[in-house]
Structure 1
Amino acid sequence: MQRLPVITAFGGFNPAGRSSFHRGYKRLVLDNLSLAERNDTLSDLAALMGLRTGADAHGPLEAELERKVLDSTLVRELEARYYDYRNCHFHQPAQLSSDNGFTFEMSVRQLPVPLPEGWEVESLDGGKVRVKCSSLSVMLDSHREISVASAGQLPTGFEPGEQYNSRFHPRGLQLAILGASDAVQSLGIDWERVVAKAGPENISVYASSAMSQLDPNGNGGLLQSRLRGGRVSSKQLALGLTSMPADFVNAYVLGSVGTTGAVAGACATYLYNLRAAVEDIRCGRARVAVVGAAEAPLVPEVVDGYTTMGALANIEGLRKVFGGEIDFRRASRPFGDNCGFTLGEGSQWAILMDDALALELGAPIHGAVANVFVNADGPKKSISAPGPGNYLTVARAMAEARAILGEESLQQRSFVQAHGSSTPQNRVTESAIFDQLAAAFGIESWPICAVKAYLGHTVAAASGDQLVTSLGIFARGILPGITTIDRIADDVHHNNLMLSMQHVERAPESLDVAFLNSKGFGGNNATASVLAPHVVERMLGKRHGAKALLDYKKRNEEVVLKAAAYDESASRGDLKAIYRFGEGLIDESGITCDSERVTLPGIGGEVTLPCENPYGDMV
């Protein structure tokens, strides 16, 4: 019997704010919350954005401040803190020529090597030279409008690099540090205690970005440096790697010596890492698995690339959709009349434990990941086009969920978090998959959510957004509607689907399982099945017994109080970011070994070596 990967903590940041304690989820369904919950959600956001701090951070917001918070979250017109899309800098190449030639002075240090053909150079005083030539190849500073003006941006005023000593860190890695820190602190259990109980060799961390770190402190600066006349720094290449979110969290948040990995799969990256974590726990390779992703793609080069592909919702396309004036808040339009997706930035993290360890530690139970299925598309004509692999991932996830929970849970008590990228092609192909499989499994009105309508497409972190939203739905029962559209597009398949443009309220206990779906460039398809906490508790009671569950609940009381203390602090604007640079270094001279164990001094702990033949009598 396999171990169950229980979700014991989650955290992160995206355009809706902080994810832990369902804070970001509540921003999505704000209109359906009670007045007290609404005020608490807005107050938390105001503190995160630096608009209210300390003792003044709590309580209802005055009307003007509330409007500012609402307008400065979720998808919206791109802010100048990223770049000015109306006046974006670039270099215009030009070839200058003159019948009379050119004469100019410059520093001798600026002379190109080798000298261009036809240049006559005369030395001057003060380290200068005079150059004469008949033609000149130059790059002229210029500015132009980038035709994409909307994005899912972190709440205005919230800068992740200001929360810790983030010098030279690319924005994506800043997000990784903060997101993982948020998840760890929401657990309500000291991490050292988790490691001591699980064993340092039984911790896994799987996380990555899909596109690497592309701002000036990462690969963006690395690739631009020569063309800009600058020098590559010693950090840009290393910090630009897609594995860095996992590496940073191992080194600076967890201090982990356990298994690590970074799986990249385009838009399915989060689910690929989640799959590795689930497999580790199910087969016993790990007792704890930390899963995450971080992406900060709001840089001109990335936007240029997707725009050239015709993938993004640009100004001209949105004008046609809206019939005139653009509402940038509604630029991301899954399953409606749309013209392309909207990029977003974010970082999401979850901490999984095997069921026995979760009970032993009294850890929170937010749900469990039953499985993650991955299939490629087979032969392709276009690497960016969708294919048949997603039929397989969704069908396999549905069939296994039915085997675990029964026919009624699948047909009446499940919902889908669609990839919902907001492209014309996605709305047709993904809806066709859901509609056909719903009919095949006897589902008459399958609820479909599409959180990219609110957050944009955060690339590697996109399915992390789906996961934390699903946990919020399990807790509150409010399924976010696709509120950015006025109607379902004519070519969307929905005979057996419920695509609601308003939030839909259900009793939390009436929802048993969520399916997270991702369709990535290159044929990277993945679908995860996530079980609701009430289902998980029922399963744990059956496996471990009523007494074990009762003892667990007693242990959990103290954990809940400690987690709530962190939430209270974070809601005042103090995130208490974990960043242990150079702390607790393991002195390699103090490592001791024998044939059965390796003992690391300090935080490392004792690692037991394998002693059983895994291949039985084959050897």
Structure 2
Amino acid sequence: MSRLPVIVGFGGYNAAGRSSFHHGFRRTVLESLAPQARQETLAGLAQMMKLVQVVEGQYRDQDGQALTHADIEARFAKEILAGTLVRRIEAQHLDPDAAHWQKSITLDAGLQPLTFTTSRKQLPEPLPANWSVQELDGNEVRVTLHDSCEFKVDSYRPLAVKSAGQLPTGFEPSELYNARFHPRGLAMTVVGVTDALRSVGIEWQRIIQHVRPDEVAVFAGSVMSQLDDNGYGGMMQSRLKGGRVTAKQLALGLNTMPADFINAYVLGSVGTSGSVTGACATFLYNLQKGIEQIASGKARVVIVGNSEAPITQECIEGYGAMGALATEDGLRQIEGSAEADLRRASRPFGENCGFTLAEACQFAVLMDDELALELGADIHGAVPDVFINADGFKKSISAPGPGNYLTVAKAVASAVQLLGAEAVRNRSFVHAHGSSTPANRITESEILDRVAGAFGIEQWPVTAVKAFVGHSLATASGDQVIAALGAFKYGIVPGIKTIDAVADDVHQQHLSLSTTDRKMGEQALDVAFINSKGFGGNNASAVILAPHVAERMLRKRHGQAAFDAYLARREGTRSAAAAYDQQALLGKLDIIYNFGNDMIDDQAISITTEEIKVPGFEQPLVFKKDERYSDMLD
């Protein structure tokens, strides 16, 4: 009997804000929320963005005046909305109107040699053959050029792309703990996974007391590695800029480093670790590994997630050179306006011209169903399956292909077998990849439309979170999963609000795409399908079950008495989780970063023929009996 992987906590940050307790989701459907929920989320964002301060647990303005949630909405709502979701690239990343580069200039000495004065230590090695050097006083030298010479000088030019999905204005993850020159993606990892762990409502030390050291797993990473100055970006640029590579840049730049940081500085885990990269489907690739570990019994607790910080000049120009990104000129042409609306740069399934890069970190905490009941963990959803298929032979590595037909069809067939055709036809929805490219709107809509037709689904609700937060590459399907959990919680399928209408070439005979939020009702949604299409033929589709469905399954499996006892234990968990949420809204995030403490003494490890005891872990690691190949031996 396979264990059911259930989601007991989630968190992170993207352009909509903090993900735990659905605050990021709430930012995307603000106009559809009750006033209390709307104002609470706005107040939390105001604190994150440093628009208000917190003194003795009270929001205050810069003059010390106390503020209620309603006050914050009235005074700061416009600024909060402008500083979240997709928007013009901000100075903390780069100036899109004046991106730095180097221009080559050729100097020709002509009839009169050119001379200049510099210090001796600045002379190139070896000295060019057409240079002559005359010693002056001190360390100065006079250089004479007898022929032409090429120089590179600082220059600035505008980028064609000027929009991105950025963390809320003013929110800097590296300010929340001792970041020690960490690349932005790793700083986001630390704060994002902390948010996910705190959201569980059960202390990590209590969780690991109930599992063996090797029954914990972490699958996390990034697609683009860490490309800012503290990672590979700085390492690659240092020689060209006349600088030196630091001792940290190469190691911290690895795309596997998010998982390593979680193990070494957050969890102190000695369990399974890995990072599966699948382009834009990377989160689902790691999610598949996580649920396989739980279903097989190899792990009982799994942290799955990604962190991506690609808003750099190099990433923008790289994807831009492929014609993949929405440019300012392209948006002008679509809108027929002299001014591009950068807030609506990401336009899934509408008239569009490319996707919008984004930064984000998203993490989910998974447990097997038995452990979740034992600990009284709150269940936000369940993940029975993730399907992955490649495209076969391809002409263009970046073009879409047939593999996504397989993943979507298998996901729907899996849900039909589990829940029945009626539930899938009437109580499911799709969180589409919705990258906002002209090719995607046609190919993905055709896949969804044909699969819907094959399974008798009419008017299948389809949404796309990239309309709000952009495309965060490795983290993109994490954005989708966590947005789907919000839809379950509030019974709202977000509208694709950045488009005026669905494009004429979108297939929608069996699909329902809306530009406004759809209020489906409490417990009206049983299952979400998460679809992701990545460069290179990396296709993945996941089945996410609503919490009320997961609870129904667990009640049947474990019996009513065991489930009632679980519900009693869950009350304490929910109370602890809610207390963290209220603290986080006031800026008290309690970042977990344990650098160099509680290190394991190798000599204190005890080894027998039956087990290993590791210091700091209550339960031993017991060697499991392996009879998989016993029939092949005498």
TM-score w.r.t. structure 1 length?
0.99
Name the amino acid aligned to 2:15.
P
Residue in 1 aligned with 2:553?
539
Structure 1 window deviating more from structure 2 (455-464 vs 74-83): it is: 74-83
Q: 1:63 aligns with which of 71, 74, 79?
A: 74
- Alignment map for 1:191-590 (pairs within 5 Å): 191-324=204-337, 325-590=339-604
Distance in 2, Cα, partners of 1:342 & 1:15: 12
Distance in 1, Cα, partners of 2:219 & 2:552: 28
Residue in 2 aligned with 1:19?
19
Query: Residue 72 of structure 1 contacts residue 156 of structure 1 at CA under 8 Å; is this kept in 2?
Result: yes
Distance in 2, Cα, partners of 1:227 & 1:515: 47
Residue in 1 aligned with 2:143?
131
Alignment of 1:39 with 2:39, yes or no, is: yes
Query: Residue 586 of structure 1 contacts residue 603 of structure 1 at CA under 8 Å; is this kept in 2?
Result: no
Distance in 2, Cα, partners of 1:482 & 1:387: 25
Query: Residue 16 of structure 1 contacts residue 27 of structure 1 at CA under 8 Å; is this kept in 2?
Result: yes
Query: Residue 255 of structure 1 contacts residue 603 of structure 1 at CA under 8 Å; is this kept in 2?
Result: no
Secondary structure of 2:109's partner?
strand
1:93-133 per-position Cα deviation (integer Å, ceiling 9, x unaligned): 12211211221222222221221122212223322322112
Query: Residue 210 of structure 2 contacts residue 619 of structure 2 at CA under 8 Å; is this kept in 1?
Result: no
Distance in 2, Cα, partners of 1:490 & 1:236: 48
Name the amino acid aligned to 1:38.
R
1:185-222 per-position Cα deviation (integer Å, ceiling 9, x unaligned): 11011111111102111000000101100000000001
Residue in 2 aligned with 1:87?
98
Name the amino acid aligned to 2:81.
L
Secondary structure of 1:332's partner?
coil
Q: 2:609 aligns with which of 576, 595, 600?
A: 595
RMSD, aligned CA: 1.1
Q: Runs of 4 or more off by more than 3 Å in structure 1?
A: none
1:580-601 per-position Cα deviation (integer Å, ceiling 9, x unaligned): 1112111112222111122222
Pairs aligned (count): 619
1:522-569 per-position Cα deviation (integer Å, ceiling 9, x unaligned): 000000000011110111011110011001011111111111111011
Name the amino acid aligned to 2:210.
K
Structure 1 window deviating more from structure 2 (557-566 vs 60-69): it is: 60-69
Secondary structure of 1:143's partner?
strand
1:125-173 per-position Cα deviation (integer Å, ceiling 9, x unaligned): 3223221122222101101000111111111111111111112100011
Name the amino acid aligned to 1:3.
R
Distance in 2, Cα, partners of 1:222 & 1:386: 33
Residue in 2 aligned with 1:189?
202
Query: Residue 332 of structure 1 contacts residue 454 of structure 1 at CA under 8 Å; is this kept in 2?
Result: yes
Query: Residue 257 of structure 1 contacts residue 604 of structure 1 at CA under 8 Å; is this kept in 2?
Result: no
Secondary structure of 2:108's partner?
strand
- Alignment map for 1:136-175 (pairs within 5 Å): 136-175=149-188
Q: 2:113 aligns with which of 82, 101, 109?
A: 101
Distance in 2, Cα, partners of 1:454 & 1:339: 16
1:291-313 per-position Cα deviation (integer Å, ceiling 9, x unaligned): 01000011111001111111111
Distance in 1, Cα, partners of 2:562 & 2:629: 34
Distance in 1, Cα, partners of 2:128 & 2:350: 56
Query: Residue 204 of structure 1 contacts residue 288 of structure 1 at CA under 8 Å; is this kept in 2?
Result: yes
Name the amino acid aligned to 1:262.
S
Distance in 1, Cα, partners of 2:600 & 2:205: 15
Deviation at 1:604, TM superposition (A): 8.0
Secondary structure of 2:382's partner?
strand
Distance in 1, Cα, partners of 2:558 & 2:275: 33
Deviation at 1:408, TM superposition (A): 0.5
Query: Residue 329 of structure 2 contacts residue 340 of structure 2 at CA under 8 Å; is this kept in 1?
Result: no
1:248-305 per-position Cα deviation (integer Å, ceiling 9, x unaligned): 1111111110000001111001000000001111111111110010000111110011
Name the amino acid aligned to 2:576.
K
Distance in 2, Cα, partners of 1:384 & 1:578: 38
Distance in 1, Cα, partners of 2:274 & 2:488: 29
Note closer, same or farther for the CA distance 1:168–1:184 as it changes in structure 2 (3 Å cut): same
Query: Residue 73 of structure 1 contacts residue 154 of structure 1 at CA under 8 Å; is this kept in 2?
Result: yes
Deviation at 1:611, TM superposition (A): 3.4
Structure 1 window deviating more from structure 2 (118-127 vs 340-349): it is: 118-127
Name the amino acid aligned to 2:276.
V
Name the amino acid aligned to 1:458.
S
Deviation at 1:605, TM superposition (A): 5.6
Name the amino acid aligned to 1:470.
A
Secondary structure of 1:602's partner?
coil
Distance in 2, Cα, partners of 1:306 & 1:397: 30
Distance in 2, Cα, partners of 1:62 & 1:41: 10
Residue in 1 aligned with 2:86?
75
Name the amino acid aligned to 1:226.
R
Distance in 2, Cα, partners of 1:485 & 1:504: 16
Structure 1 unmatched runs, 5+? none
Name the amino acid aligned to 1:49.
M
Secondary structure of 2:444's partner?
helix
Distance in 1, Cα, partners of 2:553 & 2:368: 13
Deviation at 1:88, TM superposition (A): 1.2
Secondary structure of 2:31's partner?
helix
Secondary structure of 2:550's partner?
helix
Name the amino acid aligned to 1:478.
I
1:373-395 per-position Cα deviation (integer Å, ceiling 9, x unaligned): 00000010100000000000000
Name the amino acid aligned to 1:217.
N
Distance in 1, Cα, partners of 2:47 & 2:632: 61
Distance in 2, Cα, partners of 1:22 & 1:118: 66
Query: Residue 209 of structure 2 contacts residue 618 of structure 2 at CA under 8 Å; is this kept in 1?
Result: no
Structure 2 unmatched runs, 5+? 60-67
Distance in 1, Cα, partners of 2:186 & 2:442: 35
Name the amino acid aligned to 2:58.
D
TM-score w.r.t. structure 2 length?
0.96
